Amino acid sequence: MPRESARDVSELVAAARDGDRSAFEELVRATHADTYTLAYRLTGDEEDARDVVQEAYLRAYRGLRRFRGDAQFTTWMYRITANCAATHLGRRSRHRHHDLDEAASVPDGHPDRDPQLRADGDDLRDRLLAALDGLPPRLRAVVVLRDVYELPHEAIAAELGISESAAKVRLHRARKKLRDELFPRREGRRAV
């Protein structure tokens, strides 16, 4: 985030903390795209992402007076969003009824010219999204924050309120689960 934006955000946070609703609305507009993107990557579903974002901003609004400013507002929103996504996915897993095809439909940024390569890529993407969707929320959050947002372990730990070593362990476990799901070992074949 550019310095001017960071300064503007800190001014908006201060005004919103003092009860200025329009300042909070500006904060929402300034951070909505990133918050929604994170929610979508954590949930894998547009409707779920919208629900998570709504809940995250509601929690942020209610907790704004307790925001100490030790971290940037966007970092604080990432943490709230990750927590809301975990809660939402926990509820959803108890009442699972969504269609994986809908969750796996991700807009394609650039079309491939070779139909076979495109089909293979679509298949792998669909399998990856389904495997990611199958991870427990606490593991999915670490993978998304590390492999999508490229945050270092220290930042992931801060975002999720866990130790750095816990972040590393969760990432290792999540990647192993994804690897096992995407590339299962054949019976009788041993790893070297």
Domain boundaries, the chain: 1-98, 117-192
- CATH number of the structural domain 1-98: 1.10.1740.10
Contact 159, 78 (CB under 8 A): yes
d(Cα 66, Cα 63) in Å, to the nearest integer? 5
Q: What's the whole-model pTM score?
A: 0.57
Q: Give the DSSP letter of residue 69.
A: S
Q: How does pLDDT run along the chain (192 residues), one tens digit per residue?
A: 334 455 588 888 889 988 899 999 999 999 999 999 999 988 888 999 999 999 999 999 999 888 877 778 888 898 899 888 888 877 765 544 434 344 344 444 444 445 555 555 667 777 887 888 888 888 988 988 888 777 889 888 887 888 999 999 999 999 999 888 888 876 545 554
62 CB neighbour count, 10 Å cutoff = 9
Question: What class has domain 117-192?
Answer: mainly alpha
Look at residues 129, 130, 151 and name the one whose alpha carbon lies nearest to residue 142.
Answer: 151
